[in-house]
Copies of this chain bind each other. A is one copy, B any other.
Amino acid sequence: MIGRLNHVAIAVPNLEAAVQVYRDRLGAVVSAPVDLPEHGVTTVFVTLPNTKIELLGALGADSPIAKFLERNPEGGIHHICYEVEDIDAAIARLAAEGARILGEGRAKIGAHGKPVVFLHPKDFLGTLIELEQA
């Protein structure tokens, strides 16, 4: 069912410092930051040859990553995103097996304009998983 690893998302307390780590220290290609106010984050993409790393900074008072950053003040891996061909079919299969789907249990348009859904970490080895329709 799952296909490519679309990205690994790392929440960071300071996006400018995070860009320095990936661009200057690790020598990677890094995008300009993009504010996504409707998602409460500012994103920077690190382009690797086979996938990408998404650096997430909090944007606004109600950022969905604010609590994560309180618990992880230096930052940390927030989620990993796998591609699926048909997100509704994926949700139906997972729900039928008893896995918990976050939100309202159905796909929404995510930060990159594609249908996404998040899965409960307790049902997936302690990792927050995003599925994105490729």
Are A18's CB and B125's CB within 8 A?
yes
| Segment among A59-67, A76-84, A105-113 that sits at the interface with chain B | A76-84
Minimal Cβ-Cβ distance residue in B for A121: B74
Given contacts A21-B125, A125-B21, contact A51 B49 (CB under 8 A): no
Given contacts A26-B1, A94-B25, contact A126 B50 (CB under 8 A): no
Are B27's CB and A2's CB within 8 A?
yes
- Complex Cα distance, B49 from A106, in Å, reads 25
Residues from chain B with Cβ under 8 Å of A126 in the complex: 10, 12, 72, 74-77
Give the contacting residue for A99; candidates B1, B2, B25, B55; CB below 8 A: B25
CB of A3 within 8 A of chain B?
Answer: yes
- Complex Cα distance, B1 from A108, in Å, reads 36
Give the contacting residue for A50; candidates B5, B93, B122; CB below 8 A: B5
The A20-64 residues at the B interface (CB cut-off 8 A) are: 21, 24-28, 48-51, 53, 55
CB of A97 within 8 A of chain B?
Answer: yes
Q: Which A residues are closer than 8 A to B by beta carbons? A: 1-5, 8, 10, 12, 18, 21, 24-28, 48-51, 53, 55, 72, 74-77, 80, 82, 93-94, 97, 99, 121-127
Interface pairs A-B: 5 shortest CB-CB: A1-B27, A74-B126, A75-B126, A76-B126, A75-B125
